[in-house]
Structure 1
Amino acid sequence: RGTDIKLTPEVRDAGGLAIIGTTRHESRRVDRQLRGRAGRQGDPGTSVFFVSLEDSLIRLFGGEKIASIMDRMGLQEGEVIEHSMINRTIERAQKKVEENNFGIRKRLLEYDDVMNAQRNVIYSKRRHALMGERIGVDITNMVYDMADTILAHSRAMRSYEQLVLETRQIFTIDVPFNEEEYNREKVQDLANKLAAAAIEAFKRKMDALAQIAYPVIKDVYENHGQQYQNILVPITDGKLVYNIAVNLEQAYNTQGQEVVRTFEKRILLHVIDDMWKDHLLRLDDLKQSAQNASYEQKDPLVIYKNESFAMFSEMMQNYNTKALSIIMRGRIHTSNPEQIHQAQEERRQDYSKYRLHKSDASPAQQAANAAAGRDTREKQVTSPIVRTEKKIGRNDLCPCGSGKKYKNCHGKDL
């Protein structure tokens, strides 16, 4: 395709390039491209296709019908048939295959549209976290969404204790209203109160984190500013410790607020990346299992859309829960705040030095491998077994003295 075969004058005088096809492709476009190799740019040329009734394309679409017609007409095996009916049959078969392939591609795109819509939501959140301009707005929206979820869950269970438990687990605060107000006021009003209290506690904790980190950052910058460019600030949520790499100069100029912004950014990216990878694996499994819905006379695509939306909603709720629980519990993790470590770039392993074959190893390494594979155990010398007595034949007299042959006496069962 895309290459013009230059014809010599001898070939042009002989009739040009002749294209011979030994079968017909499933796509008519491919056959036309093959025919198009001949007769390029006004050059002479011919093309002919030879098709057997045993070809897969003919066998699947109408091969038996054509064979029965040939038998009724009395045509012999291997006889050449040139009839418009054959061409029409092949074109109809190609058209059916093309329609089937188009339906498969269209179906695949419909499945991809579902994942693409979810991917756009995730990538927009990652972009906001990377840029760092909308982190405060995103966290505020997460707090309001989580407050609505907690209130709806507790109202469904009709349990004020469940509300208190979930609020302490996620927001690490006490509920800003009592049980009487919980039963009397509307859900939306209660959610707004809970979200406002959570945002206030969040700002207070982040300001405290920046105030704790700033004196150490100030001391390091003023005394060792030429030595360090980036520093690691260990922040923990009570379970794991996150080493946050922060630019020393920016942290000093913002009085520790850069530590807070970097901590929020890293936590959001860490949580959403882990959950998105797990969600993609679950979507692949769902796509395979949704095909079984066809046995129940149901559309697998509809099942896939409904189940994937439920899975995505669950993933986003888990993302809000985990990210907020880590951020709300964030605090400086060190018994000695004077301990500051320089942040180094992540080392990348150079795999070019690895040996792939035994022959590539050095002689010393080959000798070591040979010694490791050698059996160093002491070998035991075994002597051959030598018969000291004469072997008794089957027809010899039995040595027991009975007078019978050995095969009829003690050697009967041997």
Structure 2
Amino acid sequence: MFDKLLTLIFGSANDRAVKTLKPVVAQIEARESWAQAFSDEQFPEQTKILKERLAKGETLDDILVDAFALAREAAKRVLGERAYPCQLMGSLVLHSGRITEMKTGEGKTLMCVCAAYLNSLSGKGVHIVTVNDYLAERDSQWMGRIYRFLGQTVGCILSNMDNDARKAAYNCDLTYGTNNEFGFDYLRDNMQIDASRKVQRGFNFCIVDEIDSILIDEARTPLIISGQGEDDTFKFHEVDKYIGMFTEVKKDPKTNDYPDEVEMTPEQRAALEGDYKLDEKSKRVSFTDKGMNKINDILLSHNLIEPGTTVFDEQNFEFVHYFTQALRAHTLYHPDVDYVVKDGQVQIVDEFTGRILEGRRYGDGLHQAIEAKEHLKIAQRNRTLATITFQNFFRMYDKLSGMTGTAATEAVEFDKIYNLDVVVIPTNKPVARIDEDDEVYLNESDKWIAISKEVEEAHKKGQPVLIGTVSVEKSEHLSAILTRKGIRHEVLNAKNHAREALIIAEAGAKGAVTVATNMAGRGTDIKLGGSPETRARKKVGTEASQEQFDEALKIEKEQWKKDYEEVKNLGGLYVIGSERHESRRIDNQLRGRSGRQGDPGRSKFYISMDDDLMRLFGGEKMKAIMSRIGMQPGEPINHPMLNRSIEKAQKKVEERNFEIRKNLLDYDDVLNQQRKFIYEQRDEILVDEDLSGRVMNNAKETVSEIFEEFKHERTPSQSALADKIYNTFGQQLSYDQLTEEGVDAALQNDLTQKEMLAGKQNLNMFIRYQYIQMIDKKWLDQLEFLDGLREAVHLRSYGSKNPLTEYKIDGFNQFDEMLDSIRDSVTSRVFKVKVQVGSQPPRQQQPRQMNAQHQEAQSMARSAQQAAQNSAMKSGRQGQSVTVTRSVPKVGRNDPCPCGSGKKYKNCCGRNS
């Protein structure tokens, strides 16, 4: 009551917001004569002057009045349309980073021009987001004429564009496109392995057309780029055939341990019997030199690698991984102990509870190796390569704004999720549309009969009718009824955006009947009497000259004036809703197709107790009550109280959907923080010209950790320390060198030699691609882990734990381990490879082209690996070729951890899901 009293005295918050805009609008109108004094050629010069003022320290607000006056005058000269004061108000709201709600037909497309032009002067780019490609292309051409007149460049992003065209469009002052294209380009940019291939240049200012549709209706599902990893299932089958050829190293009977290889000479190590060593406690496997040579012989003799190459070459590294996993599957993982085979699947047994872990799989190829061992079909899954929600994508912009005809009902969500206020702009002319109470019928068939009768009556007198349906199926059902009645009509199912505009443009013509889905027609105007432009174009054809079109348009405009008055006298456009949508905004959007710019109009909704909304919130009980109180089939109920009840039901659905979206965002916020960090690190590496320094710093940290751990050993062993250094860095050091300073010096010397042999630039390129390859691989694993964690974490609520809190804790713990794993893996790989200088250049492989389609994308890891070979090694010293090869086998995720902790690599430095 007190709130109502305050509102009565001081006005609502919206009234106060509108009131503050009026003085600024007055200043803009006062500058109109100033803008009118310029010739057409002077407008680009004025744009340069405004940019210079910004460069000298003035702000956008300082030049706002002049910029708005120029844009308004430019629109008048180019399009013959002068922005109304209410449109200037709406544009001011956009510039301030808020949402403008303007009724349909008030000219939102023209309204945003002033704000977009002003913000484009900063040179940082303005993105204007539309709901489909057709509107993006239409608006970029239509409004683009104004911006070009002012000296600014305009681009448009369409789904069929290539990378270069996209980059050129993003480099324009203003860029039009759809929410999907902007979002996918962001994800694709952060999958590139070359910084120059990125297309976007930052997120400065964004205007979202139909912002409620994009940021609310489409925000329930995230953007996902997915694709299969490399199809390596056959490799697991091939490798499995030869596991029986490998033998274990014989243990010393006295110590029951393997011989100490550090104290052996190279000749003694070569003569050592056996191919591998096992650590059953931590379930890891390591190959001896003899075992590695046997792998090489097997691969060559069975043509699994190309002749002239070895398993130690970069392109063949992964085979060591396949053999390691296959050997672990055969020697360390046992059926009915570690796993069971059930229904043709390998199912993991929880070692603590003995229960089957439903849906869980061993990571990094171990599960596939066990499937090959058990002669089962090896499952291959799609992988999520990149993902982001619309909420988190649009929150990246420095300033976000939007416009729609229906935002006030979702003001709370806009405020909580996006920190956006909604300002309702008064109409240029009072709304003359009559919104009638709903008519409610007992059965759906009665409702369709009533609608068809109403359409027939309106059609007979020539009043145009637009009928909104909630689905394609129901629009076709109504179309069949109207066809049987002999009523000519158009059906719009939103299947063709260009066709949509043509149908909607003629929906206001005398006698027109249009059946459309509820969402159809967003962004297009329905003019009473039809569209003279559409008719003129139809009359002269698409090949006609501009002069022919202008002449035809002049004639059609004269005829349109008569048609407009006739339709206006018939009551304007009659909008019929065939069902209430679960969101009031969609219903309001449909109503808003009628009554534009003060035109007369009428709207009415027909509802049955069989409709989805009524069934879900009333059910059969409501229908039975209606029957008991005397409601008869074919007889409607019509009462304002019923309207309010239906609106309450809609509010409940809206609140439920808001909770769904908020829950999605709460979980994605965890992923978003990780995504931002990993993308930032990736960007740094793409432009870092001294990555060897980064690697050396990481190596020093690792060495320090090894020696710190060594100090706390109860029985420190020089041999164990040497093993750790060798396993981690591939450096066979004497006991005299086993000090922290000695190891650092040896590593620095190794890195310096590689830099001298390969060249600083080549080595830097090689390290860069090792980083990118590892980041992309581990990030994909992290996405899979978080996806699985989100599915499983809800079970913890039974233990009185908050699932979201648990998700955050586990997610960030895993992320920290992932970062350590990336650092250690790359550092280890760089020191384990060796540079060979030879007379014959290595055969270069062309990197794969990354497929940027939504459904299919090739393995980023493979692309990075091949690009590394191609780019980093393609140039060496004059007259010499440089080849990078590995001197020590790759450490698999289930091998002993190189740090010497005694754990599996995947459970220690390389821990993964």
Q: TM-score over 0.5 for the alignment?
A: yes
Helix, strand or coil at the partner of 2:766: helix
Q: Matches of residues 220-235 of structure 1 in structure 2 within 5 Å? A: none
CA, structure 1 residues 52+141, in 2 after alignment: closer, same or farther (shift >3 Å)? farther
- On the 8 A contact 1:23/1:51 being kept in 2, the answer is yes
Asked which structure has the greater CA Rg, the reply is 1
Aligned to 2:802: 299
Q: For 1:198 and 1:339, how far apart are their aligned partners in 2?
A: 34
Are 1:167 and 2:167 counterparts?
Answer: no
Are 1:28 and 2:584 counterparts?
Answer: yes
Q: For 2:812 and 2:578, how far apart are their aligned partners in 1?
A: 50
CA, structure 1 residues 339+165, in 2 after alignment: closer, same or farther (shift >3 Å)? same
Q: For 1:347 and 1:11, how far apart are their aligned partners in 2?
A: 61
Which residue type is aligned with residue 728 of structure 2?
A: I
- On the 8 A contact 1:19/1:38 being kept in 2, the answer is yes
Are 1:206 and 2:751 counterparts?
Answer: yes
Aligned to 1:139: 695
Aligned to 1:328: 831
Helix, strand or coil at the partner of 1:160: coil
Helix, strand or coil at the partner of 1:169: helix
Counterpart of 2:788 (choices 285, 290, 297) is: 285
Are 1:272 and 2:775 counterparts?
Answer: yes
Bigger drift between 92-101 and 325-334 goes to 325-334
Deviation, structure 1 residue 295: 4.7
Which residue type is aligned with residue 319 of structure 1?
A: I
Aligned to 1:365: none
- On the 8 A contact 2:568/2:599 being kept in 1, the answer is yes
Deviation, structure 1 residue 333: 3.4
- On the 8 A contact 1:173/1:201 being kept in 2, the answer is no
Q: For 1:59 and 1:48, how far apart are their aligned partners in 2?
A: 20
Aligned to 1:339: 840
Structure in which a larger fraction of residues adopt strand = 2
Aligned to 2:406: none
Deviation, structure 1 residue 37: 0.9
- On the 8 A contact 1:173/1:198 being kept in 2, the answer is no
Q: Deviations for 1:109-165, whole angstroms, at most 9, x for unmatched residues?
A: 222221222222222332222212352453244235434554565577656346554
Q: For 2:638 and 2:769, how far apart are their aligned partners in 1?
A: 72
TM-score (norm 2): 0.29
CA, structure 1 residues 36+174, in 2 after alignment: closer, same or farther (shift >3 Å)? same
CA, structure 1 residues 28+322, in 2 after alignment: closer, same or farther (shift >3 Å)? same
Q: Deviations for 1:226-275, whole angstroms, at most 9, x for unmatched residues?
A: xxxxxxx6xxxxxxxxxxxxxxxxxxxxxx33333233223222222222
Instruction: Give the share of equivalent positions with the same residue, in percent.
Output: 40
Helix, strand or coil at the partner of 2:614: helix
CA, structure 1 residues 57+155, in 2 after alignment: closer, same or farther (shift >3 Å)? farther
- On the 8 A contact 1:111/1:301 being kept in 2, the answer is yes
CA, structure 1 residues 144+95, in 2 after alignment: closer, same or farther (shift >3 Å)? farther
Aligned to 2:526: 5
Are 1:56 and 2:577 counterparts?
Answer: no
CA, structure 1 residues 314+207, in 2 after alignment: closer, same or farther (shift >3 Å)? same
CA, structure 1 residues 317+346, in 2 after alignment: closer, same or farther (shift >3 Å)? closer
CA, structure 1 residues 144+202, in 2 after alignment: closer, same or farther (shift >3 Å)? closer
Aligned to 1:310: 813
- On the 8 A contact 1:62/1:89 being kept in 2, the answer is no
Are 1:95 and 2:651 counterparts?
Answer: yes
Helix, strand or coil at the partner of 1:51: strand
CA, structure 1 residues 344+62, in 2 after alignment: closer, same or farther (shift >3 Å)? closer
Q: Matches of residues 178-217 of structure 1 in structure 2 within 5 Å? A: 194=740, 196-211=741-756, 213=757
Q: For 1:91 and 1:175, how far apart are their aligned partners in 2?
A: 81
Q: Deviations for 1:188-215, whole angstroms, at most 9, x for unmatched residues?
A: xxxxx73x5444322201222244x2xx
CA, structure 1 residues 198+132, in 2 after alignment: closer, same or farther (shift >3 Å)? farther
Helix, strand or coil at the partner of 1:20: strand
- On the 8 A contact 1:22/1:51 being kept in 2, the answer is yes
Deviation, structure 1 residue 339: 2.7
Q: For 1:79 and 1:150, how far apart are their aligned partners in 2?
A: 85
Which residue type is aligned with residue 748 of structure 2?
A: K
Q: For 2:633 and 2:662, how far apart are their aligned partners in 1?
A: 42
Q: Is there any run of 5+ residues in structure 2 with no aligned partner, and where?
A: 1-521, 530-564, 852-913
Which residue type is aligned with residue 169 of structure 1?
A: N
- On the 8 A contact 1:143/1:198 being kept in 2, the answer is no
Which residue type is aligned with residue 6 of structure 1?
A: K
CA, structure 1 residues 290+3, in 2 after alignment: closer, same or farther (shift >3 Å)? same
CA, structure 1 residues 154+338, in 2 after alignment: closer, same or farther (shift >3 Å)? same
Which residue type is aligned with residue 689 of structure 2?
A: E
Q: How many residues align?
A: 292
CA, structure 1 residues 70+117, in 2 after alignment: closer, same or farther (shift >3 Å)? same
- On the 8 A contact 1:128/1:135 being kept in 2, the answer is no
- On the 8 A contact 1:19/1:48 being kept in 2, the answer is yes
Q: Is there any run of 5+ residues in structure 1 with no aligned partner, and where?
A: 180-192, 214-232, 234-255, 351-414
Q: Deviations for 1:257-313, whole angstroms, at most 9, x for unmatched residues?
A: 333323322322222222222222222222222233345454332222222222212
Q: Deviations for 1:377-414, whole angstroms, at most 9, x for unmatched residues?
A: xxxxxxxxxxxxxxxxxxxxxxxxxxxxxxxxxxxxxx
Bigger drift between 125-134 and 101-110 goes to 125-134
